[in-house]
Amino acid sequence: MKINRRHCLLGAASLAAASGQASTVAESSLQKLLQPPSGKTQAVIDSDTYNEIDDQYAVAYALLSPDRVAVEAVYAAPYLNDRSSSPADGMQKSFDEILRLMKFLGHDPAGRVFRGSARFMASAGAPVESEAAKDLVARALQPRQGPLYVLTLGCPVNVASAILLEPKIKDRIVVVWLGGACHSWPSAREFNLMQDPHASRVLLDSGVPLVQIPTKNVAEHLRTTLPEAEFWLKGKSRLCNFLYDQFVDYYKVHTRGKPQPYPWSKVIWDISTVAWMIEPRWIPSALVPSPILTSDLRWEQRSGRHQIRVATHVERDPVFHDLFTKLART
């Protein structure tokens, strides 16, 4: 059969044009999902809640902001440090801490709190099944008006596993992740990212709409002190006393051997994700190409990468005023 070269060229041109149009549509859809939220949103929280003392504030903050964030579920994420004996132990302690917070606030945890992964990813593209990952897939696929926001406060293995288990959810969720350093920093190393680099790469490489809040030079501005915590929390409620007592314990550990009183401050990192949902102006951000996370955990920029939104700064004072005011009312 004789093939008409002109028809081949026209066919190739049509395919290229269609591919270009599809790419443009995908980019347009991604940029739309990455626009800062306005009004009430629907969200789930993925949290290594017992890792230190900041996740507790973030979970409570979200639950106390129903006019802006409707929290559908909370997932326990694994972690491994001096407050856990294994990733599974860290996940279970986080699960128990979430239940404790729900009880303080009078929320029924039934059908809303789920255990996450008991381990980190063993290799790239190897999801870890868990109750949390399965629930995220199911919720993301439910019909809804807007995207489901996934506030990711720790190692992202639960979220990354859900994306790998069902890639369709990438068009239906927006991941807001506290993780990694700012892209100009010589190293990307940071606790949440380093716990599971394979999972972290899924967020950066999969094309899922991602809002990254770096720790270095951004979330680290969210510091508070013992006198401030005492003024806003002590004696206000059972939850406030619980949070204040945790702060006092941390203060004693971190100022041991120093002159007393010592002007120590604690970063309450994870409230950054909730604050961005409530008022994006408090956490300015910009659209940038998603970086490559190298094998030695550095950022590398390459052309042609899809966009993500990255926070560039934090207005510390209004964030803490909103948080403390809501906590003091409990």
Q: What domains does the chain contain, in order, with CATH numbers?
A: 34-221+268-328 (3.90.245.10), 223-254 (no CATH)
> How would you label 259-296 residue by residue, b for 16+ Cβ within 10 Å and e otherwise?
eeeeeeebbbbbbbbbbbbbebebbebeeeebbebeee
Q: Is the peptide bond before 147 cis (omega within 30 degrees of 0)?
A: no
pLDDT for 27 equals: 80
Note the Cα 83 to chain centre separation in Å.
21
pLDDT band with cut points at 50, 70 and 90 for residue 250: very high
Model confidence pLDDT, tens digit, residues 66-99: 999 999 999 999 999 999 999 999 999 999 999 9
What is the residue whose two structure tokens read 């504030």?
Answer: 57
Task: Determine which of 18-22, 159-163, 250-254, 322-326 has the lowest per-residue pLDDT on average.
Answer: 18-22
Cβ(165)–Cβ(137) below 8 Å: yes
pLDDT band with cut points at 50, 70 and 90 for residue 21: very low
Cβ(37)–Cβ(23) below 8 Å: no
pLDDT band with cut points at 50, 70 and 90 for residue 16: very low
pLDDT for 261 equals: 93
The DSSP result for 35-94, as a single string, is SPP-S-EEEEEEE-TTSSSSHHHHHHHHHT-TTTEEEEEEEEPP--STT-SSHHHHHHHH
CA triplet 246, 251, 252: central angle to 5 degrees?
A: 100
SS3 state of residue 200: helix
Model confidence pLDDT, tens digit, residues 222-240: 999 999 999 999 999 999 9
Mean pLDDT (whole number) for 28-51: 96
Model confidence pLDDT, tens digit, residues 106-160: 999 999 999 999 999 999 899 999 999 999 999 999 999 999 999 999 999 999 9
State the average pLDDT for the chain. 93
Task: Report whether pLDDT(23) > 70.
Answer: no
The DSSP result for 267-281, as a single string, is E-TTHHHHHHHH-GG
What is the residue whose two structure tokens read 């990952």?
Answer: 133
Report residue 43: phi and psi, to 5°: -150, 160
Q: Taking each helix axis as running N to C, give the angle between helix 238-254 and helix 55-63, from 0 to 180 degrees, rounded to the nearest 10.
A: 160
Q: How many CA atoms lie within 13 A of 213 on its CB side?
A: 28
Mean pLDDT (whole number) for 7-28: 49
pLDDT for 26 equals: 77
Q: Which residue, among 74, 76, 108, has the nearest Cα to 89 in the 3D structure?
A: 76
**Cα gap 76→118, rounded to integer Å:** 10
E strand spans, the chain: 41-47, 69-76, 113-115, 148-152, 173-178, 210-213, 223-225, 265-267, 285-289, 292-293, 299-300, 307-311
DSSP-assigned beta bridge partners for residue 286: 310
**Cα gap 103→101, rounded to integer Å:** 5
State the amino acid at position 241 in one-letter form: N
Dig out the tokens for 269 from the structure: 């990192």
Task: Report whether pLDDT(168) > 90.
Answer: yes
Task: Report whether pLDDT(290) > 80.
Answer: yes
Model confidence pLDDT, tens digit, residues 41-55: 999 999 999 999 999
State the distance between the two ends of the chain, measured CA to CA, in whole angstroms. Answer: 79
Model confidence pLDDT, tens digit, residues 191-208: 999 999 999 999 999 999
Residue 302 or 11, more confident: 302
DSSP-assigned beta bridge partners for residue 267: 223
Mean pLDDT (whole number) for 6-11: 44
Q: In the chain, pLDDT over 90 holds for what percent of residues?
A: 91
pLDDT band with cut points at 50, 70 and 90 for residue 323: very high
